[in-house]
Amino acid sequence: EDALAATRAAVEEGIIAGGGSAYIHAAKEVEKLFDSLEGDERTGAQVVLKALQAPLFHIAANAGLEGAVIVNRVKESDAGVGFDALKEEYVDMVQNGIIDPAKVTRSALQNATSVASTLLTTESVVAEIKKPEPMGAPNPGMGMM
């Protein structure tokens, strides 16, 4: 069902480089705006930048690699180039079949921005903080028998 929805989204708006690389290349455009921003707008842009880098950072970290290094290398690359975590190589993502539906990527960014802007303009937020459950007694093993 998910694959069908992703295929429909790709047919509607096309595909883009996957693996978080499209977000990294979009982040370059956000960085260009920094000099013209101040105050809350600048803070918001910094939050967006960090959020745009998070997917690729975590993909690299989950592969046992240094996320910040991978993010910086992709940021310095041409558009469409990203990191193939399986091969541990920098590749043209579309040519290597690592793609995302543009509609899904755009919608995720728009929705995240909407939630973030709502939180930034809200006076207070009520959230439940779950208390960690106490750990059970350690298993002494069979050494005492």
Would you state the pLDDT for residue 143?
61
Which pair of structure tokens corresponds to residue 127? 């959230």
pLDDT at 10 over 70: yes
Would you state the pLDDT for residue 45?
85
Query: Global pTM?
Result: 0.74
Closest CA to 24 of 60, 44, 128: 60
> Can you list the alpha helix ranges (DSSP code H) found in 1-137?
2-13, 21-33, 39-62, 67-75, 102-120
Determine the average pLDDT of the residues in 2-17.
82
Closest CA to 106 of 114, 95, 98: 114
Residues 27, 23: Cα–Cα separation, whole Å: 6
Q: Does domain 2-120 have CATH number 1.10.560.10?
A: yes
Asked if 29 and 48 count as a contact pair (C-beta separation under 8 A), the reply is no
The pLDDT tens digits for 68-118 are 999 999 999 998 899 999 999 999 999 999 988 889 888 888 888 888 778
pLDDT at 62 over 90: yes
- Distant-in-sequence, close-in-space partners of 80: CB < 8 Å, separation ≥ 6: 17, 21, 25, 92, 93, 94
DSSP tag of 83: E
The structure tokens 């043209």 sit at 92
Would you state the pLDDT for residue 96?
93
Residues 8, 61: Cα–Cα separation, whole Å: 31
3-class DSSP state of 27: helix
Would you state the pLDDT for residue 130?
87
Determine the average pLDDT of the residues in 125-143.
75
3-class DSSP state of 14: coil
Would you state the pLDDT for residue 145?
54
Determine the average pLDDT of the residues in 130-142.
73
Asked if 30 and 48 count as a contact pair (C-beta separation under 8 A), the reply is yes
Element holding 89 (H helix, E strand):
strand 89-92
The pLDDT tens digits for 16-46 are 898 999 999 999 888 888 889 988 888 888 8
pLDDT at 144 over 60: no
